[in-house]
Amino acid sequence: MSRDLPSWAQSTKKKKRPRLTLLNDLLDALSATLQRRRPGGVPPNPVPARQLWPRAERPGRHLTLRLLALRFDIELVGDDSLTGLRRPFVLAANEQGVLDLQLLRMAMPSQLRPTNIALSRALARGRNVIVFTDEPAAGRQVGEFSDVAAGLASQHNVAVVPVGLVGTFKLKELLKLPLRARPKVSIRFGAPLYPRGRGLQDATAELQRNVEQLVHEGELSWWTVERRRTGSPSPHGAEPAPRWRRLWDQAAPPADTRARIWR
């Protein structure tokens, strides 16, 4: 070291010890609250603005989802799409079975749970709502959306989040069977759409395509889905199939990825 530091420029070697500051701070807090001091010439306190609902957070592994995971092999795909979304919003999902709504509600944290009753009023009060497709036609997995979802979103200037539900078909009946494996359920969230300023038919058609893509191509990445959507309006795998094939595919065992030394 060639610089000549002053002799008092020594590092502090003393180890900091735990201290009790809480009592003094609480006394200070109490006296400051009782005896409010306000300097002169400061701007007035802010007028409380109309309370906006905070932006949505990613659902994460909350309690009800953990409970749900005891009975179902449940996966949430693309739930990061909800991050930062302004609440409330409209969820638009494909109807598969009678447990769809209950499953979706339990899979989401309490502040994001949607309702399907009095939709417009619920949106006005800041609650998320859900709109399902009609019953799918024979041989198809995804039914048709009415223009309710896009209409509500346009009217209230909120986003529509497409949701693809996979694995909930005949789930109530499946749960009655003496199965050793937990039924697989996949809930897939897509990129939010903003129908405000667009035609209802156009927005509904895009919503329909998005939900079909989510149901059929949930394993592919968002960017691939986005590109395919522009290339081919009819999604791959949407061709009619017998009902047993849906259950067969749904019940397919997961691929065994464990390393084996013999086969």
Partner 1 sequence: MPRPGFVLEVDDKTPHLLTMSGAQLRLERFGIGTQVVYTADAEESSDPVGLIEAAVGAPTGGAPLAEQLSPGMKLTLVIIDQDAPLPRPHFDPRRALTERVLEIAARRGVDDVELVVANGLKQRWSTQQVSRALGDRVATSFLPDSLISSHDVTSDDLVSIGEVQGFPVLLNRRVAQSDVVVVIGVRADASEHDPLAVGLTDLATLDRLLGFDPAPGFAEGVSDLIRGAVEPFALFAVLGQPLLAWSLRFLATREWEWKLTDRLALAGSRQIIAALPRQGAQLVNGNPRADYAVIDVVGGGYASSLSDSLGVWQAANSVEVNGSADVLVTSVWGPAVDAVDSIGSPLDVAHHALVRRAGSHLAKPLAREGGALIAFHPLRNRFSNRRQSAAADFFAKVLTETTDAGEIAARFQARAMDDEWYLDLYRKNFADHPLRVYQLWYETARAAEQFSEIIWVGGDRRCAALLGHRSATTYADALEIASGTVGMHPSITMLRGPGLVLGDVR
Nearer to partner 1, 62 or 170 (CB): 62
Q: Which of 6, 60, 178, 254 binds partner 1 (CB under 8 A)?
A: 6
Q: How far is the CB of 173 from partner 1 (least distance, A)?
A: 34
Residue 209 CB partners (closer than 8 Å, separation 6+): 229, 233, 235
Please select the residue that binds partner 1; options are 102, 120, 224, 232, rule is CB under 8 A: 224
Strand order, beta sheet including 160-166: 73-77, 184-189, 160-166, 90-93, 129-132
**Residue 140 binds to partner 1 (criterion: CB under 8 A):** no
User: Of residues 157-176, which lie at the interface with partner 1 (CB under 8 A)?
Assistant: 159
Q: Per CB under 8 A, which of residues 67..96 are in contact with partner 1? A: 78, 80-81, 83-86
- Closer CB to partner 1, 78 or 164, in the complex: 78
Bridge partners (DSSP) of residue 163 are 93, 189
Among residues 12, 110, 234, 257, the one that binds partner 1 under rule CB under 8 A: 12
Q: Residue 249 corresponds to which tokens in the numbers above?
A: 């595919």
Q: Is 194 a residue that touches partner 1 (CB under 8 A)? A: yes
Instruction: Find the largest Cα–Cα distance for the chain.
Output: 89
Q: Which is nearer to partner 1, 44 or 253 (CB)?
A: 44
Considering the rule CB under 8 A, would residue 186 count as an interface residue with partner 1? no
Which residue from 113, 140, 170, 229 is in contact with partner 1, where contact means CB under 8 A?
229
φ/ψ (deg, to 5) at 86: -75, 130
Q: How far is the CB of 59 from partner 1 (least distance, A)?
A: 12
Helices of type H across the chain: 22-34, 63-71, 100-107, 119-124, 148-156, 171-176, 200-217, 222-231, 243-250
Asked if 229 and 112 count as a contact pair (C-beta separation under 8 A), the reply is no
The pairing of beta strand 73-77 with beta strand 184-189: parallel
State in angstroms the smallest separation of the CB of 86 from partner 1.
Answer: 4
Region 13-42 residues binding partner 1, contact defined as CB under 8 A: 15-22, 25-26, 28-29, 32-33, 36-42
* Integer Cα distance of 24 and 31 in angstroms: 11
Cis omega before residue 136 (within 30°)?
no
Binding site for partner 1 (CB under 8 A): 1-3, 5-6, 8-12, 15-22, 25-26, 28-29, 32-33, 36-43, 45-46, 52, 54-55, 78, 80-81, 83-86, 159, 191, 194, 221-224, 226-227, 229-231
